[in-house]
Amino acid sequence: MHATYEGSAQNYDSICDRNVMLEMRDGTRLATDFYFPAIDRVKSDGQFPVILERTPYDKASPTNVTAGKYFARRGYVCAIQDVRGRFKSEGDWYPFAKEAPDGYDTVENIGTQPWSNGKVGTMGGSYCGSDQSALATLNPPHLTTMIVSVGASNYYHASMRHNGTLEQRFHTYIFRMASTSKEALANPELKAAIDEVYPDKLHQLLNTYPLKKDATVLRLFPSYEQWAMDIMKHGDYDDYWKQRGYAISEYYDEHADVPTLYVGGWYDSYARASCENYIHLSQRKKTSQRLMMGPWTHGGWNVTFSGDLDFGNDSHVDYNDLRLGWFDHYLKGLRSEMSDWTPVRIFTMGTGEQRPNYEGFINYGGQWRSELDWPLPETKFTSFYLHKDLSLLKTSPTAETSSSTGFTYDPRNPVPTIGGGISAADQVMPPGGFDQRGRSDFHGCTDTLPLNLRSDILSFQTPPLETDVEATGPVEMRLWASSSAIDTDFTAKLVDVHPPSGDYPDGLAINITDSIIRARYRNGWEKPEMMTPGKEYEFVFELYPTSVVFRTGHRIRLDISSSNWPRFDVNHNTGGTLGSDNNYEIAQQTVYHDTNHPSRIILPLQ
C-alpha cells in the first residue's frame, strides 16, 4: 500500500523585492525580482529552496508575477530575471546564443544567499526552457533540478534552422521582440515605428523575403537585425551554431546531472528537441530524466485544442500544479505524485469520436499513458513504400526498371503552410492540426480547395485501414529523388485521411507531422554539396515524433513536395548564397519508387 502523497500547502503570503541587480562576470547587471515567503508582510526567517526563471518576456508580466507569488506562498523563494538586454536588465540582447554564462552566474549567486538552503531549481518554457539547458551545460554546483518546457536540443537541426532550411517563424519573432525592446519602450518614436509594422504588416513582409539588411524597421534595432541576418546566412553547421545557447547537444557530456522533466507537445516547434534531450541525457546521466509529451501546440498545456483538433478535458494540465509536484519532490524531498511517475508520460491522439463538438473543433480525442522509455521498447519500425500508382504499402516495389513520378516546383508559387509544429508566428502561421485545405486566414492560400490538388504535391496513401493503426515514436523519411536543379528542397507530410461523413461530406485530411531537407546538406551539415542534375540521391531526414491512432476506415497519406511556406524559407533552386540570392529557377523534381530506389516512410507502429 502506497503512502499518502505530500505537498506544499499555501502556508505563507508573499513579498517581492523588485529589480535587484545581480552582477555577472563581465560587470553587466541583470534585474531580478525575488518573491519571498512572508507572514504579515514580513519575510519569513530561515532558508528555503530557490526556483529560478530567466526570461526575455518581462519578469513583471502578470503570468510571471502569478508564478512568483504561487511558489513563494508554498515555501519557496522564486527568482524571476530579465535576461541581458531585455526590460530592466543591462547590456545588449543577442537572442539565445550567449545565455549560458549569465545563467550559471545567476544560479551560483542565488544558491549562496543567506535565505537559500543551497538548492536551486529552474523552470520556464520556450526561450526560458532553452536558457536553462544552456546554463546546465556549464554544470553550476547549486543547480539541483530543472523543468525544461518546450526547449531546444540544437537550434540548427530543429528550430531556427531545420535540416538546412531556415524556420522563418524566427524572423516574425524578432519583429515581435523589437516591439517590446528596451529601446522601443524608452523611445516613443522607435515604438511607433515598430508598431506600424508589427503585427499588421507581417503578411506583406513575408512576401518580400529573404530579409534585407537596412531595408526594414529592424535597422533601428541593430542587435536585433544582426541576429536575424546571422541565422539566415549561417547555413552551414559551423562554430556560430555550436555556441552553448544554441547547441545543447554538443555539450551533453558536460551537462549537469540533475533530475529533469522535459515537457513538450506533438504540435510544438520543439517536439523533436524535447524527445532528443530526454533520449540522450537519460542514457548519460544517473539522476532521473523524465519526458512528458502532450497533444499541445507551443505552451498550450492549459487548453484542450491544437488547431482544428480537440483532445478532451484530460489533455490539458494545471501547469503550476505539475511544477509544484516536481519541485516538492526534488527540492523538498516530499512524496508527491512524481514519486510514482514512470520515466515517460505521453498523450496518444486520435481515439475520439472525430465529430464536431459544440465549439466547432473536431473531437479527435486521446488518452494519457505511462511508459518506461522513449522510443517505446516494443516499437516495430515499419516501412511504408511509395508505389507508381500512388499507393503507400508495407510491401516494397517490384519494378526492376526505373519507376518514378515527377512534379514541377516553382519557388515563386510555394505550397502554403497549413498548421504543424510552429511557434511565435500565430498571426501568419497558425500551429496545430488542420484539415489540409486552403483557408483565407493562412498566408499564401489563394483558394479553399484541398491542398493536395496542387500539381506540385504528390500524395501516396494506403487503402482504407482494416484495423486501427497506432504510430508512436520517431518518424523517418527515406526519399529517393532527383532534380533538374543543383540545389532544391524536399518535404514530407504525414496525414490522417478521414472518409466522407455526414459531418464532413468531403472527408478530412489532418496533418500529423512533417519535415523538410535542403539538398545541399544531404551528406552532412558542415559542408554543402551541390547535386548533379538528373542524378538520383537518397534523402534521409526525420519528421517530428508523434503518438496517434489512425482509425479503421481511415487512410495513412504521405504528401511529398518541395516547399512549406512561410514556415520554411523557399529554396530558389539556384545553388546561390543562402539569404542573399535574388534569382529563382523552376525545378523539375522526380521521385523514385522501384527496387533500386525504394522510397519509404518508416513509422513507429505499436
Dist CA 466 CA 275 (whole Å): 31
What is the band of 86 on the pLDDT scale with cuts at 50, 70, 90? very high
| Average confidence (pLDDT) over 223-239 | 97
- The verdict on 395 and 359 lying in the same domain is no
Task: Name, in order, each residue with C-beta under 8 angstroms of 24's C-beta and a sequence gap of 6 or more.
Answer: 30, 84, 101, 102, 105, 106
- The verdict on 197 and 285 lying in the same domain is no
Biggest distance spanned by C-alpha atoms of the chain: 83
Say how many domains are in the chain.
Answer: 3
Residue 144's pLDDT is 98
Residue with cell 553587466: 28
Percent of the chain scoring above 90 in pLDDT: 96
| Average confidence (pLDDT) over 583-598 | 97
Residue 530's pLDDT is 98
Dist CA 158 CA 517 (whole Å): 11
What amino acid is encoded at 22 in this protein? L
- The verdict on 169 and 270 lying in the same domain is no
What is the band of 138 on the pLDDT scale with cuts at 50, 70, 90? very high
Q: CA dist 157 to 57, 277, 392, Å? A: 25, 13, 28
Residue 577 lies in a domain: yes
Last residue of a domain, one of 233, 251, 272: 233
Residue 139 CA from chain centroid, whole number: 24
- The verdict on 436 and 568 lying in the same domain is yes
Residue 53 lies in a domain: yes
- If DSSP codes are grouped into helix, strand and coil, which group holds residue 371? strand
Last residue of a domain, one of 183, 198, 233: 233
- The verdict on 294 and 404 lying in the same domain is no
Residue 131 lies in a domain: yes
CATH code: domain of residue 31 = 3.40.50.1820
| Average confidence (pLDDT) over 272-288 | 98
pLDDT digits (tens, 9 = 90+) for 35-72: 999 999 999 999 999 999 999 999 999 999 999 999 99
Are 19 and 31 contacting, i.e. CB atoms less than 8 angstroms apart? yes
pLDDT digits (tens, 9 = 90+) for 388-428: 999 999 999 987 778 999 999 999 999 999 999 999 888 89
pLDDT digits (tens, 9 = 90+) for 358-377: 999 999 999 999 999 999 99
Could you list the residue range(s) of the whole structural domain that residue 166 is in? Answer: 161-233
- Which strands make up the sheet holding 362-363, listed edge to edge? 305-306, 309-310, 362-363
Residue 17's pLDDT is 98
- Give me the helices (H) in 234-375, please: 271-284, 319-331
Residue with cell 508589427: 198
What amino acid is encoded at 277 in this protein? N
**Numbers of helices and strands, H then E, in the chain:** 10, 28
Residue 6 lies in a domain: no
pLDDT digits (tens, 9 = 90+) for 289-337: 999 999 999 999 999 999 999 999 999 999 999 999 999 999 999 999 9
Residue 149 lies in a domain: yes
Are 455 and 560 contacting, i.e. CB atoms less than 8 angstroms apart? no
Its pTM surpasses 0.95? yes
CA-nearest of 307, 259, 263, 249 to 435 is 307
Dist CA 400 CA 376 (whole Å): 36
What is the band of 2 on the pLDDT scale with cuts at 50, 70, 90? low
Residue 5 lies in a domain: no
Q: What are the DSSP calls for 203-220, one per residue?
A: HHHHTTPSP-TTSSGGGG
- The verdict on 327 and 409 lying in the same domain is no
- The verdict on 557 and 523 lying in the same domain is yes
Are 424 and 516 contacting, i.e. CB atoms less than 8 angstroms apart? no
Cβ-in-10-Å burial (0-12, 13-18, 19+) of 214 comes to exposed
pLDDT digits (tens, 9 = 90+) for 201-213: 999 999 998 999 9
Evaluate if residue 485 carries a pLDDT over 80.
yes
Evaluate if residue 246 carries a pLDDT over 70.
yes
Residue 479 region, left (φ>0) first, then alpha (ψ -120 to 50), else beta?
Answer: beta
Average pLDDT, the chain: 97
- The verdict on 120 and 61 lying in the same domain is yes
Residue with cell 526594414: 216
- The verdict on 501 and 405 lying in the same domain is yes
Last residue of a domain, one of 321, 348, 371: 371
CATH code: domain of residue 485 = 2.60.120.260
Residue 399's pLDDT is 72
| Average confidence (pLDDT) over 66-89 | 98
- The verdict on 400 and 504 lying in the same domain is yes
Evaluate if residue 1 carries a pLDDT over 70.
no
Are 518 and 541 contacting, i.e. CB atoms less than 8 angstroms apart? no
- The verdict on 136 and 213 lying in the same domain is no
Residue 2 lies in a domain: no
Dist CA 300 CA 78 (whole Å): 23
Residue 20 lies in a domain: yes
Residue 401's pLDDT is 76
pLDDT digits (tens, 9 = 90+) for 534-562: 999 999 999 999 999 999 999 999 999 99
- The verdict on 132 and 189 lying in the same domain is no
Are 76 and 331 contacting, i.e. CB atoms less than 8 angstroms apart? yes
